[in-house]
Each structure stands twice: as C-alpha cells, then as structure tokens.
Amino acid sequence: MKIKLMACAAMAALCATGAHAQAAGDIQLNAGWMHFAPQDSSDPFNISALGQSMTSPGAGASVSNSDTLGLTAAYFFTDHIAVEGIAGVAPKFHLDGKGTLGRLGELGTAREWSPTLLLKYYFMSAQSKFRPYVGAGASYVWFSDVKLSSAMSNGAFLYSPQFGSALTGPTTAHISSSFAPVVNAGFAYNFTQHWSAAFSVSYMWLSARATLTTNSAVGTVRSESKIKLDPIVTFLSVGYRF
C-alpha cells in the first residue's frame, strides 16, 4: 500500500512539474521592456561639393540609449528547438555631435525598426521550470521619422573659414537600411502551465550610412558618414503559452 501511495505521489509530482514545460507544438507570446544600448562609433564626414571630395576630421556623432515595448512570438518545433519572431514599438534614438560637431549639441532623431527572427535552443528538460537558452538569427533594420535639428537642417554644420556660408542651405537626411546578424542568450522561468517570465541579452552587429543632402548656393552638397551602432539589447518580459 505504501509503495502504491509513493508511486501515485511521484506521478503527481511529475505531472505538476510537467505542467510548467515548454514542449513541442507550444506557441508562446511575450511582452515587456526592451532596452537598446548602442556601442557606437562613427567615421568622419566625407563631404562632396564643387566637384571635389574632402574629409572633415574630428566630426562625428554618438547615439543615445533607448527604451521601448518589445513583443515576441515563438513556436516550439521540439522540446528544445524553437523559432522566435521579435518586434515591438520602434525605439527613438537621439544623435549628438562629437568632436568638431560637439558645439551643435543634438544633431537629430530617428526611429529604428528591427524585426528579428531567431532560432533558439532551450537547455534542461521540458519538465523544468527554469530553462536557459541561446539563439542566433538576423534582423532587417531600417529607420523612419529622421528629423534634423535646426543647426543641421539649415546646413550650418558646413560653415568653414575657407568657404564661409557658401555650402550651407536646406538639408535633408537619409539613413541606410541593412540586414544585421544577432546572437541571443537568456532564460525563462515558468510559474504555471501558461504563465512565465523571461530575461534575455542580445547583441546585434549593425552599421548604417547617414547621408545628408544640402541645397546650397553653389549646388548640391553631399555629406556622408558611416555609423556603427552594434546595440546590446536587454529584454525583460512576461509570457503566455498556448
């Protein structure tokens, strides 16, 4: 009788533990706080005007951190392998001048869109409440709502002792889009059969080219700079599993 009771208790424990599992066929949705911390650097501006090209040494930009709402959806092909899509509200970044552009303060703002697809591997058994994971994939990144500060939009950044205000004028900006590889690591903790919490850290290899086009009195002036963003992205979320 005691053996039967022990066996029943063991089976009940296994069932209770298994209720917390991510398993093959599950769909999981997460929502939470996403923090972007760019590890940024930028090349000097390359300025093309009057049929000539010149480099403005010491002219650079830095990119601010940003927070936003993140959303993910994952499908488990097996107890250990899942594919996950990541989206959310586009974070807003502020670009500030560095070096010779430091006197201008904020250069402008832009929103980054970076939907991401990851292939993830979950460690531990499907019955574990705590499940660490690693992942890798790619993101397609583009920028919208690119707005320049007044000092940039009127071309004042092109003023120089050599040309004076000849190269200044109304200026517009464009930031290139690109694919970016992503690696990811984190863990999930399952509270109940459906509810869980998760934390992850991702690293994205991301570079973009900023192009400024100025309509000056002497013709079109094009200023370009390559900006390396390479953001570290942390994501703290709550999940619901179907």
Handedness of CA 154, 228, 66, 83 (dihedral sign): positive
Confidence of residue 20 (pLDDT cuts 50, 70, 90): low
| Structure-token pair, residue 144 | 């919208």
| Predicted local confidence at residue 46, as pLDDT | 85
Give Cα separations from 82 to 31, 57, 122, 166 (angstroms): 17, 47, 8, 58
Topology of domain 2-241, CATH:
Porin (2.40.160)
| Predicted local confidence at residue 43, as pLDDT | 83
Mean pLDDT of 76-98: 95
Domain range annotation of the chain: 2-241
* pLDDT reading at 7 higher than 70: no
Tell me how crowded residue 59 is: count the other CB atoms within 10 A of its CB.
Answer: 22
Decide: helix, strand or coil at residue 241. Answer: strand
Confidence of residue 44 (pLDDT cuts 50, 70, 90): confident
* pLDDT reading at 124 higher than 50: yes
| Predicted local confidence at residue 158, as pLDDT | 84
| Predicted local confidence at residue 90, as pLDDT | 96
Torsion angles phi and psi, residue 12, rounded to 5: -65, -40
User: Would you give the DSSP letter of residue 10?
Assistant: H
CA atoms within 13 A on the CB side of 194: 2
Give the least confident one: 13-17, 50-54, 75-79, 105-109: 13-17
pTM: 0.85
Give Cα separations from 203 to 180, 181, 182, 237 (angstroms): 10, 8, 6, 18
Mean pLDDT of 34-50: 89
Mean pLDDT of 116-123: 98
Task: Identify which of 19-28, 45-54, 99-108, 131-140 has the greatest average pLDDT.
Answer: 131-140
Burial of residue 152, with CB atoms counted within 10 A of its CB: 0-12 exposed, 13-18 middle, 19 or more buried: buried
